[in-house]
Amino acid sequence: MEIKLKWIELSVVADSELIDPLVQIFDRYSKHGVVLENVGEVLEHSKYHTKVRTYLNSDSDYEIVFNQIDIGVRLLSHVGEVSKLSKRVLDEKEWHESWKKHFSILEVGKTIAIVPSWLKSKEVDRTIVVELDPGMAFGTGHHPTTRMCLEMLETIVKPDHTVLDLGCGSGILSIASAKFGAKKVVGIDNDETAVKVAMENMEINGISDSATILAGSLPNKNISKYNNNIVVANISSKVILDLSRVITEYLDPQGYLLISGFLDTNEPEIINAFKELNLRVVYRLATSDWVALCLRQV
């Protein structure tokens, strides 16, 4: 019996400094999320190579989308090291299994473990367990930016806190915040797939009473301004800069802003943007050229 082919996997491998623009290119033309995976070290430059993957439905105009992404990748190859765009055809089963291959149990910080939902029967020696089925939404905990955000949340979240998770993806940071003890968590994402996946993960973790997932972005009339003890945004540098002023409007005057999703080359511009809004860096983490910042009003 012939298997009907439904999905196209597109991928490239690139130097760290090109990941941000590559993610923006993939995210612009694909509606099914972007997956990042560290695949090794380039000894010549002492930098990590990262694979960027996305998926296209073969029933859509994927050839047009492929050409648009390919043009972007070839343009970036003139300013940094990036492989040619690779295309692989998947059937329905392969599509569901492809992203699971690199998703294993992950321990982060001192207390938390991220456990794939299909491995939930395995014993984990951690006090906080987040069961996750990311589907095609970004956020498994394996990318450095997600891990650093989790480590920051672990040290900052208090039982009376309200947390806003901008660009929540799979819901991993929202779920972790609730399990760290936050009394209320709101996750928001402008991707329909991410919203659906995040809501399903809330159910899996039994935190639907304390956490809400919304579709959209900021500003949002359903979210109170100046009322969140923590705003976390693990998103691209461009979106952080574009929304910097709006983001601060949703932060309590004494609150913490946690931002990541960008490289150290973008850090000075981001710090300056928030400095103009009276926010200063009070804590910084960095891994493999990726940066996470904790800022407060001073």
Output the CA angle 51-33-83, nearest 5 degrees: 25
Q: Distance between CA 6 and CA 20 in Å, rounded? A: 28
* β-strand pairing of 251-263 with 34-42: unpaired
pLDDT for the residue numbered 65: 83
C-alpha dist (Å) from residue 19 to 26, 27, 270? 10, 12, 17
Question: Which SS3 state, helix, strand or coil, does residue 123 take?
Answer: coil
Output the CA angle 13-18-114, nearest 5 degrees: 70
Radius of gyration of the chain (CA): 19
Is 165 within 8 Å of 185 (Cβ atoms)? Answer: yes
Show the domains of the chain with their CATH numbers.
5-98 (3.30.70.120), 139-297 (3.40.50.150)
Structure token pair of residue 68? 């648009």
Q: Distance between CA 295 and CA 29 in Å, rounded? A: 32
Q: Distance between CA 261 and CA 249 in Å, rounded? A: 20
Q: Distance between CA 44 and CA 66 in Å, rounded? A: 31
Is 85 within 8 Å of 67 (Cβ atoms)? Answer: no
Structure token pair of residue 229? 């003890």
130 — alpha (psi -120 to 50), left (phi > 0) or beta?
beta
Structure token pair of residue 218? 């900021």
Q: Distance between CA 116 and CA 140 in Å, rounded? A: 9
pLDDT in tens, the chain (298 residues): 344 546 788 999 998 778 888 988 887 777 666 777 766 544 344 455 788 888 887 755 778 888 999 999 999 999 988 999 999 888 767 766 666 665 678 889 999 998 887 776 567 888 899 988 766 556 677 778 899 999 999 999 999 999 999 999 889 999 999 999 999 999 999 988 889 989 999 999 999 889 999 999 999 999 999 999 999 999 988 899 999 999 999 999 999 999 998 888 899 999 999 999 999 999 999 987 789 999 999 8
